[in-house]
Amino acid sequence: MSNEKILNILQILPINKSLENESRKLIYECLSERFGLINDSLNPDLKNIVEYYIKKGDIFIVGLYKGALICTGALIKENDQTGRIVRMYVKKDYRRMGIAGYIVKTLEKYGKQKKFISIVLETNDDWISAIKLYESCGFQKYDHFEGNIHLKKLI
Protein backbone atom coordinates (compact mmCIF):
# COMPACT_ATOMS: atom_id res chain seq x y z
CA MET A 1 0.00 0.00 0.00
CA SER A 2 1.26 3.49 -0.81
CA ASN A 3 2.23 6.01 1.85
CA GLU A 4 -0.61 8.27 0.76
CA LYS A 5 -3.19 5.51 1.20
CA ILE A 6 -1.90 4.73 4.68
CA LEU A 7 -2.21 8.38 5.71
CA ASN A 8 -5.72 8.52 4.22
CA ILE A 9 -6.93 5.73 6.47
CA LEU A 10 -4.73 6.38 9.51
CA GLN A 11 -7.09 7.10 12.39
CA ILE A 12 -5.74 9.65 14.90
CA LEU A 13 -7.38 9.54 18.33
CA PRO A 14 -6.76 10.97 21.77
CA ILE A 15 -5.48 8.20 24.02
CA ASN A 16 -7.98 6.50 26.28
CA LYS A 17 -7.75 3.74 28.88
CA SER A 18 -8.46 1.00 26.31
CA LEU A 19 -5.42 2.07 24.24
CA GLU A 20 -3.07 2.74 27.14
CA ASN A 21 -1.42 -0.69 27.44
CA GLU A 22 -0.88 -0.98 23.70
CA SER A 23 0.59 2.55 23.62
CA ARG A 24 2.94 1.75 26.49
CA LYS A 25 4.03 -1.44 24.73
CA LEU A 26 4.80 0.44 21.48
CA ILE A 27 6.78 3.12 23.32
CA TYR A 28 8.85 0.56 25.22
CA GLU A 29 9.43 -1.37 21.99
CA CYS A 30 10.75 1.77 20.29
CA LEU A 31 12.84 2.78 23.30
CA SER A 32 14.36 -0.71 23.45
CA GLU A 33 15.43 -0.42 19.81
CA ARG A 34 17.47 2.68 20.68
CA PHE A 35 18.66 1.98 24.21
CA GLY A 36 18.42 -1.76 24.84
CA LEU A 37 17.35 -2.40 28.42
CA ILE A 38 14.86 0.22 29.69
CA ASN A 39 14.80 1.59 33.23
CA ASP A 40 11.14 2.04 34.26
CA SER A 41 12.09 4.67 36.83
CA LEU A 42 13.12 6.99 33.97
CA ASN A 43 9.63 6.77 32.45
CA PRO A 44 7.11 7.51 35.24
CA ASP A 45 4.65 9.01 32.74
CA LEU A 46 4.14 5.59 31.17
CA LYS A 47 2.71 4.01 34.31
CA ASN A 48 -0.59 5.78 33.75
CA ILE A 49 -0.53 7.72 30.47
CA VAL A 50 -4.10 8.99 30.65
CA GLU A 51 -3.64 10.28 34.19
CA TYR A 52 -0.25 11.82 33.46
CA TYR A 53 -1.12 13.62 30.22
CA ILE A 54 -4.84 14.03 29.67
CA LYS A 55 -5.94 14.96 33.17
CA LYS A 56 -3.33 17.76 33.18
CA GLY A 57 -4.81 19.18 29.97
CA ASP A 58 -2.01 17.97 27.70
CA ILE A 59 -2.57 16.08 24.46
CA PHE A 60 -1.52 12.48 23.83
CA ILE A 61 -2.59 11.01 20.50
CA VAL A 62 -2.31 7.59 18.94
CA GLY A 63 -2.59 6.44 15.36
CA LEU A 64 -4.47 3.33 14.34
CA TYR A 65 -4.00 1.66 10.98
CA LYS A 66 -6.49 -1.11 10.22
CA GLY A 67 -7.20 -1.31 13.95
CA ALA A 68 -3.55 -1.67 14.99
CA LEU A 69 -1.83 1.02 17.04
CA ILE A 70 1.22 2.12 15.05
CA CYS A 71 2.21 5.54 16.42
CA THR A 72 2.04 7.91 19.36
CA GLY A 73 2.79 11.55 20.06
CA ALA A 74 2.11 14.04 22.81
CA LEU A 75 2.10 17.82 23.23
CA ILE A 76 2.64 19.16 26.71
CA LYS A 77 2.54 22.71 27.98
CA GLU A 78 6.05 24.09 28.43
CA ASN A 79 4.73 27.53 29.38
CA ASP A 80 1.81 29.76 28.31
CA GLN A 81 3.31 30.39 24.88
CA THR A 82 5.17 27.16 24.18
CA GLY A 83 4.25 23.51 23.76
CA ARG A 84 6.68 20.61 23.79
CA ILE A 85 6.40 17.50 21.63
CA VAL A 86 7.22 14.31 23.50
CA ARG A 87 6.65 10.58 23.10
CA MET A 88 6.84 10.61 19.29
CA TYR A 89 7.09 6.99 18.17
CA VAL A 90 6.21 5.07 15.03
CA LYS A 91 6.23 1.29 14.91
CA LYS A 92 9.30 0.08 13.00
CA ASP A 93 7.39 -1.46 10.05
CA TYR A 94 5.62 1.86 9.38
CA ARG A 95 8.55 4.27 9.40
CA ARG A 96 9.51 6.39 6.37
CA MET A 97 5.89 6.55 5.24
CA GLY A 98 5.10 10.11 6.33
CA ILE A 99 3.37 9.06 9.54
CA ALA A 100 5.70 10.89 11.95
CA GLY A 101 5.37 14.10 9.93
CA TYR A 102 1.60 13.69 10.01
CA ILE A 103 1.67 13.30 13.79
CA VAL A 104 3.83 16.45 14.09
CA LYS A 105 1.35 18.42 11.94
CA THR A 106 -1.55 17.12 14.04
CA LEU A 107 0.20 18.16 17.26
CA GLU A 108 0.90 21.59 15.75
CA LYS A 109 -2.85 22.03 15.14
CA TYR A 110 -3.50 21.24 18.80
CA GLY A 111 -0.79 23.74 19.74
CA LYS A 112 -2.51 26.46 17.72
CA GLN A 113 -5.81 25.63 19.44
CA LYS A 114 -4.06 26.09 22.78
CA LYS A 115 -2.73 29.47 21.55
CA PHE A 116 0.91 28.42 21.68
CA ILE A 117 3.28 30.61 19.69
CA SER A 118 5.98 27.97 19.38
CA ILE A 119 6.67 24.29 19.82
CA VAL A 120 9.95 22.85 21.06
CA LEU A 121 11.32 19.35 21.25
CA GLU A 122 14.54 17.53 21.85
CA THR A 123 16.12 14.38 20.54
CA ASN A 124 19.43 12.62 20.86
CA ASP A 125 22.13 14.21 18.73
CA ASP A 126 22.96 10.86 17.12
CA TRP A 127 19.38 10.19 15.99
CA ILE A 128 19.98 11.66 12.56
CA SER A 129 16.71 10.37 11.09
CA ALA A 130 14.70 12.09 13.85
CA ILE A 131 16.62 15.35 13.43
CA LYS A 132 16.03 15.27 9.67
CA LEU A 133 12.33 14.57 10.22
CA TYR A 134 11.88 17.54 12.53
CA GLU A 135 13.90 19.84 10.27
CA SER A 136 11.73 18.76 7.32
CA CYS A 137 8.72 19.81 9.42
CA GLY A 138 10.18 23.32 9.83
CA PHE A 139 11.94 22.96 13.19
CA GLN A 140 15.30 24.64 13.67
CA LYS A 141 18.10 23.73 16.05
CA TYR A 142 18.61 26.24 18.84
CA ASP A 143 20.70 24.35 21.37
CA HIS A 144 22.95 21.32 21.72
CA PHE A 145 23.45 20.15 25.30
CA GLU A 146 24.62 16.88 26.89
CA GLY A 147 24.02 14.75 23.79
CA ASN A 148 20.65 16.30 22.95
CA ILE A 149 19.63 18.56 20.10
CA HIS A 150 16.91 21.08 20.96
CA LEU A 151 14.67 22.28 18.13
CA LYS A 152 11.99 24.95 17.89
CA LYS A 153 9.29 26.05 15.47
CA LEU A 154 7.06 29.09 15.47
CA ILE A 155 3.48 28.11 14.69
Give which of 4, 23, 13 is closest to 70, Cα–Cα: 23
Does residue 3 carry a pLDDT above 90?
A: no
- When divided into structural domains, the chain yields a total of 1
Residue-range definition of the domain harbouring residue 35: 3-154
pTM of structure: 0.91
Q: What is the reported pLDDT for 37? A: 66
Task: Specify whether the backbone of 64 is left (phi greater than 0), alpha (psi in -120 to 50) or beta.
Answer: beta
pLDDT reading at 2 higher than 60:
no
pLDDT tens readout for residues 102-119: 999 999 999 999 999 999
CATH number at residue 25: 3.40.630.30
Query: Confidence class of residue 4 from pLDDT cuts 50, 70 and 90?
Result: low
